[in-house]
Structure 1
Amino acid sequence: MATIPKVQLREGLEICRILNGLWQLSGNHGHIDQEKAVQSMPAYLECGLTTFDMADIYGPAELVYGAFYKKLLAKKRQEEVINIQGLTKYVPRPGPMTRKIVEEAIDSSLNRMGLNSLDCVQFHWWDYSDKRYLDALSHLSDLQAEGKILELSLTNFDTEHVKEIVNKGIKISSNQVQYSVVDRRPMMKMAEFCESQGIKLLTYGTIGGGLISEKYLGAKEPRGSEELNTASLDKYKKMIDAWGGWNLFQELLQTLNSIAKVHTCTIANVATKYILDMPAVGGVIIGCRLGIPGAEHIKENLKSFDIRLTPDDINKIESVLKRSSDLMQAIGDCGDEYREK
């Protein structure tokens, strides 16, 4: 097993600085064969990528993880069982958040994943005007104290509401947010506050669903559902449009490519390392196309750890980024794109 850089969260959970994202199991990225998905997971462990990120709303993601975990137990591979981390999310629809409702949701995740305690629960809430998210977090904090949850975290909360939650005395381990060379909103306010509180940022969208890659360097602008045929491609293409459009994005890809050639790596490696080096960032989540031959780039992704971006590299990247639109002004703070204004 390779030695992969890790980071420790507030309560002591050690996770890899590249996390295996299971959003692709949600059903919005094409058909996934669950059995093949389980069969493809050991390859990640063999390369030292032991941290998996999922959610209760990602289709069968928790079940796939649970089946994989059960296989490890059956084979008595205790070292791998001990060293694997499963981070999930609790994403309820706004409504009453009683102890019973919250505990039943956590128990459901425990049952699906085949665990006695959840390594990390990352809570998301759709509507800030419904303040019952504070009720949910209070109950989650109680369940944490009782041992059902190790790390209590957030997903897509903005800086204002992270501050509110922290000021309520709830100890938050991490906040999962979109963060990339295109979307740098976390560096505006979020990173500084989280760093001051010992809260790690776990970032997604860091390679733009695959758009930040050689595949799209010099390519014509993709349009329509046939070319943007996954939820990731559609989502991050819209972010590129808001950021500055396809022509400026091509300039960014050309710059990243010139840096990648010097470091003998890929555009995605450079984009990933750029974010890994940012203050408060604990890890980057890279989506896994489990069970799809040729869709996994495990060893390629690991090269991100070998890069040392120079001040000149950073200056070249930021010379392009400074000509982009202000996404804080256009969209709002982290996660605001998921909520009505």
Structure 2
Amino acid sequence: MKTRQLGQQGPFVSAIGLGCMGMSDFYTTGVDEPEAIATLHRALELGVTLFDTADMYGPYTNEELLGRALRGKREGICLASKFGLVRSDDPHARGVNGRPEYVRQSVEGSLRRLGTDYLDLYYQHRIDPQVPVEETVGAMAELVRAGKVRHIGICEASAETIRRAHGVHPLAAVQSEYSLWSRDPEHNDVLETCRRLGIAFVAYSPLGRGFLTGELKSPDDFAADDYRRFSPRFQADNFNRNLALVDRVKSMVASKGISASQLALAWVLAQGEHVIPIPGTKQRKYLESNVAAAAVALSAAELGQLDEIFGAEGVVAGERYGAQTMSLLNG
């Protein structure tokens, strides 16, 4: 497995990490824990070292799952978790909390559930507009000094917020959604800001929540409680318009003898040595396909063709999230 570095002082991790959220939450009814654990163990065998979770996944159950699966296998793993997104009884509502006392409280819960004495990487999941980022990051820096956290990061933050946070304590990573059909980090200067400051950019949902795999054909493919049923990009006319974009890469996929997923991940990897995608999966067969994308090379002409299809602002139909969740982005 090729490696990339988290920040300027952080560890080298696998160039493709593993997003673990879907093993416990959001995408389907029920949890296949034996397969999820087998997938985590297979990831280790394949050289994956970056594992991404959060306290709100489940909530809490995803961290507990990783704690069980990775018990006795901690050495050499980069374990990343997040705090700051707060769930309520409404499954589609989110609150945020960046108060220093909440930071200290949250890390203790994550450490206990994950069965570890420290986190390699701890993110603020969303920026709290009521708390200056300097205060939140200051509390996170205290965790570093106490040895509970090795490195820190923030998620879905604006370029200005990244600069402010980095001025308090060096950020190892910024995590935001980024893929062929989610190009905001290019347009809002976040990707370039990370490059200039020597911060790793961790791309979540690099397969467009499964859309870029080419395997989804209808909104009816989703379980009744699947998050994507409520996502604007997956609804009604937006679904069909976006499906037409994915159909346009079929010839490229066929000519290279790879899958659509591998093409999408290879594109993300090609956007800079500081970019690390963390595709999520809960099945070994998809994990193995995703990891193989690290060996796929795209020519300048192929990259240009993909940009022609997906690159223009407005070409993708629908927002990434509903209005309430969109309001928490780019803080």
| TM-score past 0.5 threshold | yes
Cross-structure match for 1:298: 287
Note the C-alpha offset of 1:102. 2.5
Higher Cα radius of gyration = 1
1:170 maps to: 169
Match of 1:103 in 2: 104
Tell whether the 8 Å contact from 2:320 to 2:326 is kept in structure 1 after alignment: yes
Is contact 1:203-1:281 (8 Å) kept? no
For residue 82 of structure 1, what is the amino acid of its counterpart? E
Query: Can you give the 5+ residue segments of structure 2 that lack an aligned partner in the other structure?
Result: 87-95
Task: Tell me the distance in 2 between the aligned counterparts of 1:230 and 1:15.
Answer: 34
Compared CA separation, residues 35 and 315, structure 1 to 2 (3 A): closer
Give distance in 2, aligned partners of 1:96 and 1:267.
38
1:5 aligns with 2:24: no
Letter in 2 for 1:85: C
Q: Which residue does 1:285 correspond to in 2?
A: 278
**Aligned residue identity for 1:8:** Q
The Cα offsets for residues 200-231 of structure 1, whole Å up to 9 and x where unpaired, read as 11011211121112324xx4xx346x646564
Superposition pairs of residues 32-47 of structure 1, within 5 angstroms: 32-34=31-33, 36-47=35-46
Report the counterpart of residue 50 of structure 1 in structure 2.
49
Q: Secondary structure at the match of 2:140?
A: helix
- Residues 79-99 of structure 1 show CA distances to partners (whole Å, capped at 9, x for unaligned) of x53222211111254458244
Deviation string, structure 1 residues 39-98 (Cα, Å, up to 9, x no partner): 44211111222321000111211111111222xx2xxxxxx5322221111125445824
Taking the aligned partners of 1:323 and 1:136, their CA distance within structure 2 comes to: 35
Task: Indicate the SS of the match to 1:41.
Answer: helix
Aligned residue for 1:201?
201
Equivalent runs, 1:62-141 vs 2, <5 Å: 62-70=63-71, 73=72, 80-93=73-86, 94=96, 97-99=99-101, 101-125=102-126, 127-128=128-129, 130-141=130-141
Evaluate the alpha carbon distance shift between residue 111 and residue 158 of structure 1 in structure 2; reply closer, same or farther with a 3 A threshold. same
Could you tell me how far apart the structure 1 residues matched to 2:68 and 2:112 are?
11
- Counterpart amino acid of residue 16 in structure 1: S
Count of aligned positions: 313
What do residues 260-293 of structure 1 show as CA deviations (whole Å, max 9, x unaligned)? 1122101111111111111364311111225xxx
Q: In structure 1, how many angstroms separate the alpha carbons of the residues matched to 2:98 and 2:192?
A: 33
TM-score for the superposition, normalised by structure 2: 0.83
Aligned Cα RMSD in Å?
3.0
What is the deviation of 1:310?
1.2
Pick the aligned partner of 1:275 from 251, 268, 274.
268
Give CA-to-partner distance per residue, 1:305-338, whole Å, 9 cap, x none: 22211122122222222555178xx789xx9824
Task: Note the C-alpha offset of 1:248.
Answer: 4.5
**1:238 aligned to 2:232?**
yes
Structure 1 runs not aligned, ≥5 long: 74-79
Task: Tell me if structure 1 keeps the 8 A contact 2:127–2:155.
Answer: no
Q: 1:104 Cα shift?
A: 2.5
Whether 1:154 and 2:154 are equivalent positions in the alignment is yes
TM-score (norm 1): 0.81
Query: Hey, what's the Cα distance between the residues in 2 that align with 1:200 and 1:260?
Result: 28
